[in-house]
Structure 1
């Protein structure tokens, strides 16, 4: 299995002309070119999106982690329950 030889390309061109006709080949090539441009633009935008996500992830990775006790708050000692009626009378 080697590379395409010049006669391979010639046979391919003859088959294409026979299948599609000489008038339709330029239109087919033009639409193929448009399709390739669209695919190229879409893959570039996907790569840009991936690059943006990577930059955001790097920015988030720059944050320092919290110390082990940071999530635990120091709560005051619980007070004795206050009767709601008594609280209204005091005010």
Structure 2
């Protein structure tokens, strides 16, 4: 299991390799992707609920 100090070292290496700007942009894109995924799940649930209501 990775402890706190190992995470700090990994983060420092990532920042050195990619730079602060690139890492923040990657985080932003990851956040947008997660948001879109959750929205898609909600829309799928809404469509299922609508089709269940129409079938009754």
TM-score (norm 2): 0.71
Match of 1:46 in 2: 44
* 5+ residue gaps, structure 2: none
The answer to whether residue 15 in structure 2 is matched with residue 17 in structure 1 is yes
The answer to whether residue 53 in structure 2 is matched with residue 55 in structure 1 is yes
Q: Residues 53 and 11 from structure 1, CA distance in 2 versus in 1: closer, same or farther, beyond 3 angstroms?
A: farther
Question: Which range moved further: 14-23 or 36-45?
Answer: 14-23
Structure 1 stretches of at least 4 aligned residues deviating more than 2 Å after TM superposition: none
TM-score (norm 1): 0.50
Question: Which structure would you say has the larger Rg?
Answer: 1
Please, what is the CA RMSD of the aligned residues? Answer: 1.9
Between structures 1 and 2, the one with greater helix share: 2
> Matched residues in 1 for 2:24 and 2:44: separation?
30
* 5+ residue gaps, structure 1: 60-91
| Aligned residues between the structures | 56
Question: Which range moved further: 18-27 or 29-38?
Answer: 18-27
